[in-house]
Structure 1
Amino acid sequence: MVSISFSRRVALIASASAMMLVAAAPAPARSILFVGNSFTFGAASPVQRYRPDRVEDLNGEGVGGVPALFATFAAEAGLDWTVSLETSSGKDLAYHLANKRAVIGRPWDVVILQGYSTLDAEHPGDPTRHIAAARALAALMRTRNPRAEVDLVSTWSRADQTYKPTGHWFGKPITRMADDLMAASRQALAGPSAVNAVVAVGPAWNRAMAEGLADPNPYDGIAFGKVSLWSWDQYHATAEGYYLEALMVFGTVTRADPRILDGREQAADDLGLHPDVAHQLRAIAAAELMAQGVLPGGRTG
């Protein structure tokens, strides 16, 4: 029989107790940073000032926005995230790269990038500047945390860019702009400092129109029983549009099916969304996440 000294027994007991405490301690919260513009902070809708207490606005402007919706969804799903945002209206990703390095240069676990709505304000549809800035920001984030996940949001077709003669996508189907933005964003998935994923918000909006939930043309009135995803300027989103955006970010980042929020989701009620509409938006987000290969049940690759 091997004997153990009293002091050794005390040391072993203390070590075992410490191990039990470590095992019982909850995992630390994961951090996520949103970098973007008015499409991120929810301009022209009540989303802009939604629950700023749930996020850290690095610019100190009291914004809640899509990040606050993400924080709400995460808490409702029992996930522990600390959520921050750095946004500036009308700016592209190159602006944040040039002017906000000191603010955003931290070791984040996940970073969500959202660029200018037409890719390039001076050259609509040209992805060159957009992709270069996304890759440069991804490289910057990985100098702070080599394992950082950097995702790029692909946004929606602007009705004003499609139906007005001055729009770059004038005369084309309402789905075309979103499709073009998605194709451009996918370019950032390859090459040096590639992003990890594209958040397919534009395709989710297209799906909402194709499935009859959202009206595809706000200029001829909103059909009975449908919602508008565009706000009064036919440019930014309504609460419904931003809600769908936030669901797509939530599903892409957490790999959780947005339908798990059914029966417990409070943000939709806070924003005045009809319960049936909110339910349909969660189903549409789930279907698009599957179509993009993010969730099981859709295509892969």
Structure 2
Amino acid sequence: MIGRFQWWSLTALASMVATPVAAESILFVGNSFTFGAHSPVMRYRPDLVRDLNREGIGGVPALFKTFAEEAGQDWQVSLETAGGRDLAYHYEQKRKEIDRRWDVVVLQGYSTLDAQRPGDPTRHAEAAGLLTAMLRRANPRVRVELMSTWSRADLTYRTASPWRGRPIAAMADDLAAANAYAVRRYPEISGTIPVGQAWNRAWAERVADPNPYDGTAFGQVDLWTWDQYHASAAGYYLEALVVFGTITGFDVRRLGEQEKAGIDLGLEPRLIGRLESIAHAEVTAVRP
């Protein structure tokens, strides 16, 4: 005979088994730096994600989903991206697509913060604040993260800009500082994702070559693609690792050198492992 406590325990267990835990939802909002322009990442596994613009993009969100599956995590991944656009555009033109309940949202802004005033964080921060307020009305507990992107070689070595002639790491540091300013100004923003700092670490550790205009050093990789502006497959892969590690807390080194997306993209297994180590080190770094 089953006692009352035993009967309750069996009933509760059956209830838990019969009711699956809902997957967490994550939305990526950004531009070409999120959808993987000029690389095979752009069309990587679009079947894994939901493109709210119905353009058949996989991009960095599809890499995130692949990592999640390998890590045994259940995420519903969506994206809303538009090339050459900043966060203000998404707020002004794409509210219909993104104004709904999400558990996590990753916001990626324009590569120079402001197309008209490069380096000025004002427009970027204001748009991030408006988007966060809108998202929090749909879900007061939503986690909103601002992605800090990488230094552009073209603007550092060749094209007139606030960063020309400065160290290659300077632009990424300025973009990270702008996002930190946005978080201070709008504390409803949860935090930042240090993608650009991971690129800086890859250069410092001689995994990647910091100047594509004088050739790529033997044994190192170019994180940019042919325009020295957007990322190569390796650069976007590092971006995805940093995003996944930051959002989930998962140690991306556990994905291993045979990680599926990296192999699909044609990355050398040893490079996959080195990029995983760099991403983990940056995600877990203690910041002032």
Q: Which amino acid aligns with 1:195?
A: I
Aligned position for 2:146: 152
Q: Give the Cα separation in 1 of the matches to 2:281 and 2:269.
A: 18
- Cross-structure match for 2:83: 89
**Does residue 21 of the first structure (1) align with residue 31 of the second (2)?**
no
Equivalents in 2 of 1:141, 1:226: separation in Å?
Answer: 41
In the TM superposition, what whole-angstrom CA distance separates every residue of 1:219-245 from its partner, at most 9, and x where no partner exists?
A: 111111110000000000000000000
After TM superposition, where is structure 1 displaced by more than 4 Å over at least 4 residues in a row?
A: 15-18
**Paired positions, count:** 283
Matching residue within 222, 225, 249 for 1:231: 225
Cα offset, 1:20, TM superposition = 2.2
Task: Tell me which residue corresponds to 1:107.
Answer: 101
User: What amino acid is aligned across from residue 265 of structure 1 in structure 2?
Assistant: E
Q: In terms of mean alpha carbon deviation, does 15-24 or 212-221 score higher?
A: 15-24
State the superposition RMSD in angstroms.
1.6
| 1:137 and 2:105 correspond | no
1:52 matches 2:52 = no
The within-5 A match list for 1:139-288 is: 139-192=133-186, 194-262=188-256, 265-288=259-282
Q: Distance in 1 between matches of 2:45 and 2:12?
A: 38
List gaps (5 residues or longer) in structure 1.
1-8, 292-298
Deviation track 1:109-136 (CA, whole Å, cap 9, x = no partner) reads: 0000000000000100000000010111
1:41 aligns with 2:35: yes
- Aligned amino acid, residue 23 of structure 1: M
Shift of 1:192: 3.8
Provide Cα deviations, 1:33-80, integer angstroms capped at 9, x if missing partner. 000000000001000000000000000000000000000001100000
- TM-superposed CA distance for 1:21, in Å, is 2.6
- SS of alignment partner, residue 101 of structure 2: coil
Distance 1:212 1:26 in 2: 45
Give the fraction of aligned pairs with identical amino acids, expressed as a percent: 60
- How far is the alpha carbon of 1:207 from its aligned partner? 0.2
Q: Secondary structure at the match of 1:86?
A: strand
Asked whether the equivalents of residues 131 and 187 of structure 1 are also in contact (C-alpha less than 8 Å), the reply is yes
The two structures have a TM-score, normalised by structure 1, of: 0.91
Which deviates more from structure 2 when the two are superposed, residues 160-169 or residues 210-219?
160-169
- Are the aligned partners of 1:157 and 1:177 in contact in 2 as well (CA < 8 Å)? yes
Give CA deviations for 1:7-40 in whole Å, capped at 9, x if unaligned. Answer: xx9xx96x76652233224321000000000000
TM-superposed CA distance for 1:190, in Å, is 2.0
Contact 1:76–1:264 at 8 Å: present in 2 too?
Answer: no
